[in-house]
Amino acid sequence: MRKFIILLLLLTLAAAAYGGYCLYQTFQPAELEYSTVELPDALPFAAPPAEMAVSVISTGQMYSRQAFTFRGGKFGVEYISAMDALLVQHPKGDFLIDTGFGANIHDHVQTTPFLMRSLADYEFTENAANQLEIHEYSTDNLAGIILTHAHWDHVSGIPDFPEVPIWINQDELDFIREAHEETVLINSFENVEYLIYAFDDGPYMGYPESLDVYRDGSLVLVPIGGHTPGSVGVFLNLPSGKRLMMVGDIVWAREGIELPAERPLLARDMVDHDEAAVREAIGHLHQLHKRFPDLEMLPAHDRRAFETLSQYPSRTH
């Protein structure tokens, strides 16, 4: 009996060591496999009005390790995740893209998995609605809030804008209504007005369908699912000729696009709905980056990327 117990203990230790080694390996650099995408030879035509502008509204940040952000990242390097909203101002009506941290963020954080709370600390500065109010911006100007996806850190500020409709596609709304663990927070909000849009326009930058919101090429939405079923990418084409693409959480850091690299297994298991689709989406972004290096990629949580834009109330045209 004693020998059996010792053997069982040794097997348990061996299994734990092997499992730990396998987990460690998922943090190491690895070649990402993806399909080749047919891309246009030139950036699409856009005619944004001179008054169009964008502003970053920073609501806080989270602190974690670079290693949790992309495969090949370092455990010894701190990674600061931006928690921002982006204000798009346009003569036909303004939009807020995502919301950043809302006024009740301290309660909202408690809806997230324990492991996520254990691996990252957060710092709240000021919610977007209050920052707009301080500068006498009327939310009557907002045509809507466009969500890149419905995870907690992108929807936390929705209750702070009670009269503003939430622009969302049917796939993401279905994801919300199926009451997944990742949508606990948005499902706890009362009286949310959803405005469902469809991708009624043609192919755009290698994506099979799109929605040209203003009909002038200045704000174009494309389906970029995987992180959630209805995740979207947001192309912004500014009067100065500056070209931007908000990629939501397909990657958390620009290294994910440039290398390219996915998240390590621990992070993927926590946040990605369809890992294979995310890999394909990363591959698409990587090819866009190589073909059009002047197209600025904005992962939603890469503070470095958003520092290239004006912070509200200043504006980038």
CATH number at residue 189: 3.60.15.10
20 assigned to some structural domain: no
Within-domain flag for 173: yes
Q: Using CA of residue 144, residue 156, residue 255, residue 240, what is the dihedral sign?
A: positive
Say if residues 232 and 222 touch (Cβ distance below 8 Å).
yes
Which range of residues forms the domain containing residue 172?
39-306
Q: Is 116 exposed, middle or buried (CB count within 10 Å of its CB: 0-12, 13-18, 19+)?
A: middle
CA distance 92 to 143: 9
User: What is the tally of structural domains in the chain?
Assistant: 1
Taking a C-beta distance cutoff of 8 angstroms, is the pair 131, 87 a contact?
no
What H or E segment, with its residue span, contains residue 86? strand 78-89
Question: Distance between CA 10 and CA 250 in Å, rounded?
Answer: 41
* Residue of 75, 98, 80 whose CA lies nearest to 234: 98
pTM of the entire structure? Answer: 0.92
User: 166: which 2 tokens?
Assistant: 């939430």
Sign of the C-alpha dihedral computed for residues 306, 95, 42 and 50 taken in this order = negative
The pLDDT value recorded for residue 2 is 46
Q: Does any domain span residue 32?
A: no
How far apart, in whole angstroms, are the C-alpha atoms of residue 304 and residue 286?
Answer: 18
Q: Is residue 103 part of a domain?
A: yes
Structure tokens at 8: 């069982």
Q: How far apart are CA 102 and CA 83, in angstroms?
A: 10
CA pair distance 242, 240, nearest whole angstrom? 5
Contact 63, 120 (CB under 8 A): yes
For residue 14, the model assigns a pLDDT of: 45
Average pLDDT of adjacent 10-residue blocks, the chain of 317 residues: 41 46 78 96 97 98 95 96 97 98 96 86 97 97 98 98 98 94 95 97 98 98 96 98 98 98 94 97 98 98 96 97
Distance of CA 250 to the CA centre of its chain: 6
Q: How far apart are CA 100 and CA 123, in angstroms?
A: 12
Q: What are the strands of the beta sheet with 243-248, ordered from one edge? A: 211-212, 219-223, 232-237, 243-248, 295-299
Nearest by Cα to 286 from 299, 274, 275:
299
Residues 30-45 have pLDDT tens digits of: 999 999 999 999 999 9
Element (H, E) at 114: helix 114-119
Residue 58 domain-assigned (yes or no): yes
Q: 185-224 burial by CB neighbour count: b if 16+ within 10 A, else e?
A: bbeeeeebebeebebeeeebbbbeebbbbbebbbbbbbbb
Q: Is 293 within a domain?
A: yes
Output the pLDDT for position 114: 85
Whether 288 maps to a domain, the answer reads yes
pLDDT attached to residue 25: 81
Tokens of 138: 């009327």
The pLDDT of residue 118 is 84
Within-domain flag for 27: no
- Give the model's pLDDT for residue 171: 98
